[in-house]
Amino acid sequence: MRAAPPLTLAQMQQAFKRHLMQRDPAIVSHITSDDKLGAATRLAIYSHAYYARLEEALAQDYEAVHTLLGDEAFSELCVRYTNHHPSEFPSLRWFGQYMSEFLGTEEPYCRHPYIAELAHFEWTLVMAFDAADAAVASNEDLAKVAPEHWPQLTLTLHPSVHTLPFRWNILPLWRAATEDGNFPDIQPLPAEQHCLIWRHDLVTRFRTLSTEELTFLQGVVAGENFSQLCERLADASLASDQVPLMAASIMKTWINQGMVTQFGI
């Protein structure tokens, strides 16, 4: 074989990376072959490991998408995703962050919008899993707030609290794919719903939000106090005469479910 001119360390690494990502053959002539293994076979060990490791990371984050698509289609998706969004972070933790967007825009996945929605749901579970820690507030903490301070009362949500809109029956779909295997017919919902995802006692949890809770939550995220939150509920024509009771009851549910970390007045 003709001896290739030596590369600098930086050129060599760039050529090696291009071989992994784009099958660029430039690096091959810089790799030693022997009677046992040729340079191409040796390099193929690295290409295989590159895609396999990233697919493994995606399979961990997107278990339901994997089950839904099946091994072969999921592998193909992973190769396409990996080529489109090479990892830019030291930790594999962040590698899969663009999956929902990718599924929502690339053929053929985008023709089945529930796949992107399911991926968005699974990524939000990942985000809640290792979101920042914070001590949760208790009903006793709330009881310490004097009645005259209630109108100014604000609450801080746990850093793991996320909401996510969805238009397909992805929750039974996710359960089927990760737990019981009883796949529902995939269908659009009569109206958009919102899912609440958070972590309580180290366990990631989720449930659908009622319209009242969603309205309340949007106010809390906007930093509104209790009287503003009540107004917001009233404006939404939700339980007009019972608004303060309803607001207090939502708050107590959230406290019991470990979603609230602090009260302010």
Binding site for another protein (CB under 8 A): 3-4, 6-10, 12-14, 16-17, 20-21, 29-32, 34, 36-37, 39, 42-43, 45-46, 49-50, 53-54, 57, 86-93, 95, 129-134, 159-160, 199, 202
Pick between residue 93 and residue 252 the one whose CB is nearest to another protein: 93
Tell the smallest beta-carbon distance from residue 128 to another protein (Å). Answer: 8
Is 33 strand, coil or helix?
Answer: coil
The end-to-end CA distance of the chain, in Å, is 78
Tell the smallest beta-carbon distance from residue 36 to another protein (Å). Answer: 5
Pick between residue 7 and residue 171 the one whose CB is nearest to another protein: 7
* DSSP code at position 91: S
Pick between residue 131 and residue 209 the one whose CB is nearest to another protein: 131
Residue 197, amino acid = I
Tell the smallest beta-carbon distance from residue 218 to another protein (Å). Answer: 24
Pick between residue 99 and residue 115 the one whose CB is nearest to another protein: 99
Distance CA 120, CA 106 (A): 15
* Closest of 66, 255, 67 to residue 157, by C-alpha: 255
Distance CA 238, CA 242 (A): 9
Return the structure tokens found at 249.
């009851």
- DSSP characters over 148-175: GGGGG-EEEE-TT-EEEEEEE-HHHHHH
Tell the smallest beta-carbon distance from residue 172 to another protein (Å). Answer: 26
Pick between residue 17 and residue 167 the one whose CB is nearest to another protein: 17
Distance CA 198, CA 216 (A): 16
Tell the smallest beta-carbon distance from residue 58 to another protein (Å). Answer: 12
Neighbours of 100 (CB within 10 A): 22
